[in-house]
Amino acid sequence: MNKGLIHIYYGDGKGKTTAAVGLAARCAGAGGRVMFFQFLKGNSSSERNVLRTLKNINLIDGIDGMKFVWKMTAKEKDDAAKRYKKIFKDIVDGAGKYDMIVLDEVIPALNYDFISERELAEFLKTKPERTEIVLTGRELPDALAALADYVTEMKKIKHPFDNGVRARLGIEY
């Protein structure tokens, strides 16, 4: 890879994580080193199961038993913010070792103040030149969009959840 670019997959539609996983697999398949981290998710999703098996992917553990934010106590939110800030700092500090860094659901982590938008923007501006960055989430701040090279909106037109169908193993998680 020559110059690493910044990708953002955002919106209310399905496919953001799927796109990020696909890029991670593609990069690893080409011999690239990938760091993959998921904010606001536990460690048991189906995509994590397959990513664990791929050579060249460093899958960083998240918070076991992660709850939806609206079900968290104030202490749980504070603990999650401390943990995510530390993980993000470690990612930034080790960024030079990777050809690609995927920060899945980082945008909602910003919106919940689990990490700082200013710090993420600074990382994007000063990232290692050859490192590709992939961000996902909903409600994209304009300042982040301005820093990206690729911005793809996933727009929900129709989704089974709207008719009461719960998330399905292997499809939504």
**pLDDT tier for residue 167 given thresholds of 50, 70 and 90:** confident
Q: What is the CATH number of domain 6-163?
A: 3.40.50.300
Percent above pLDDT 90 for the chain = 79
pLDDT for the residue 101: 98
Which amino acid, one-letter code, is at 170?
Answer: G
The model's pLDDT over 97-132, given as tens digits with 9 standing for 90+, comes to: 999 999 999 999 999 999 999 999 999 999 999 999
The model's pLDDT over 20-47, given as tens digits with 9 standing for 90+, comes to: 999 999 999 999 999 999 999 989 889 9
Task: Indicate the domain borders of the chain.
Answer: 6-163
